[in-house]
Structure 1
Amino acid sequence: MVPVVGADSAGVRHSPAVVMVCHNYGCAKQAAVRIDTSTLWWIDDVLQASADAAAEREALSRVLAQLYRLAARQSPVGNDRAGNFLDDGVEGRMDCIDHATTSTRWLALLEARGMLRFHRVLEPARRTRFILQHFSAVVEVLAQEPAADAPALEPAMLAAAERGAARYDVAPEHAQAPATVAGERFAIDAWFVDHGEPAVVLPLDEWLKGGGPNVH
């Protein structure tokens, strides 16, 4: 599905990995971005603090934002802006194909490392409106959700810090999201936002009907 280096099957959960990040529209260019151990520990702690599928999706939105920020230190993608018009012609710009492909690669790495408990990663989705096409990464809720016994986020972050993980901002708590059911699919779309902002998460049916911020 996606070329990921370091997403091993031997269970080396936090060993460094390399993911190819697309940019300059249509994946015209790719940059190898290395994810270090401390970042993977932080990601794992944030995801394991998710008590249910809704919380895991919110965490994934923030995790993708941090991974894109990491990529900006190793490639020109920090120049990317929401949509396609604001960064037209700029080196490092990303269209929806770049984002859908790259976000799916990030998510596939986390899935391969056993960090996702409530979702599996699907192939990118495509929607068509008139003559326009748009793509997004997609996850699907698993058939059974584990018991909600995950630790609170703050202790998890402190544990990560004690292991030497980098300190990152944590989004404030949000109101509880409606419960989701097994098999429900969600778009996780970073094309809608400026570089390094949390990706937009929408039910896939809503996204397919044109849901999401009004950007071009």
Structure 2
Amino acid sequence: MGEITKTEEGRLFVCHGFDCSYKTRVDLRAADHAQFAAYFAKVSTPEAERSAVGKAVQYAEERAASVIGVRDLPKSDYTQSRVKGQMDCIDESTNTRSLLLYLEKRGLLKHHAVEANRSRGLFVDGRYPHSTAVLRETASGTRWAIDSWYEPAGGPPDIIPFDRWVANGRFGER
């Protein structure tokens, strides 16, 4: 599996090409920092914070696509392995977690903590292996899957209870 990419104060490292075959640095500008902060400015509930996370993921993916020069297709399959800009679930979940760590470091997450990425499916159980980024709601302990693999770059990520995400995943099922 791909390594967790390093997040630094003013940049994100974006994995692509499947299993983090390529890493592209995205330097965040003052306008990017301001945009992320704006998504979280009026957040007062865990639900609103998850909505802001979804917007932040979409924005970060748009920025990454503009730097890489390729817009990721949804649900990339193995035929796109090692194709610049295309992302498997390892790339997507790693990139999402890197963004979440950036948001956490900047103090924008008030109701959630970033956890390690998780996976489901083993083929033998009739499910395709798949990974996601995970947030834990601090008050309730509920875990949430933040899964952007199903949409093209900049599309809204699935943000669903982690237990429901784990139970899903039969071939063709979200």
* Superposition TM-score tier, normalisation by shorter sequence: 0.7 to 0.9
Contact 2:5/2:15 (<8 A) preserved: no
**Normalising by structure 1, what TM-score?**
0.71
Identity %: 28
2:16 corresponding residue in structure 1:
23
- Alpha-carbon deviation of 1:84? 1.7
The more displaced of 191-200 and 92-101 is 191-200
Partner Cα distance (2:25, 2:32) in 1: 16
Partner Cα distance (1:65, 1:116) in 2: 17
Q: Where has structure 1 moved over 6 Å in runs of 4 or more? A: none
1:4 alignment partner AA = T
Q: Report Cα offsets for 1:132-179 as digits up to 9, x if no partner.
A: 311000000013xxxxxxxxxxxxxxxxxxxxxxxxxxxxxxxxxxxx
2:53 corresponding residue in structure 1:
60
2:6 alignment partner AA = P
Where 1:137 maps in the other structure, the secondary structure is strand
Q: Report Cα offsets for 1:26-55 as digits up to 9, x if no partner.
A: 001100011111111121121122221011
For the pair shown, the structure with the greater C-alpha radius of gyration is 1
1:185 corresponding residue in structure 2:
143
**Normalising by structure 2, what TM-score?**
0.87
1:94 corresponding residue in structure 2:
87
Quick one: structure 1 residues 45 and 212, their matched pair in 2 at CA, closer, same or farther if it must change by over 3 Å? Answer: farther
Aligned 1:28-107 pairs, distance under 5 A: 28-76=21-69, 78-85=70-77, 88=80, 90-107=83-100
Contact 2:121/2:169 (<8 A) preserved: no
- Alpha-carbon deviation of 1:130? 2.5
1:106 alignment partner AA = L
- Alpha-carbon deviation of 1:215? 6.6
Quick one: structure 1 residues 87 and 106, their matched pair in 2 at CA, closer, same or farther if it must change by over 3 Å? Answer: farther
Partner Cα distance (2:171, 2:110) in 1: 28
Where 2:56 maps in the other structure, the secondary structure is helix
Contact 1:202/1:212 (<8 A) preserved: no
Is 1:4 the counterpart of 2:7? The answer is yes
Partner Cα distance (1:212, 1:63) in 2: 28
Unaligned ranges ≥5, structure 2:
none
Aligned 1:137-176 pairs, distance under 5 A: 137-143=133-139
Where 1:139 maps in the other structure, the secondary structure is strand
Number of matched residues?
Answer: 167
Where 2:144 maps in the other structure, the secondary structure is strand
Quick one: structure 1 residues 212 and 39, their matched pair in 2 at CA, closer, same or farther if it must change by over 3 Å? Answer: farther
Aligned Cα root-mean-square deviation (Å): 2.2
2:26 alignment partner AA = V
Unaligned ranges ≥5, structure 1:
7-16, 144-181
1:82 alignment partner AA = P
Partner Cα distance (1:23, 1:42) in 2: 24
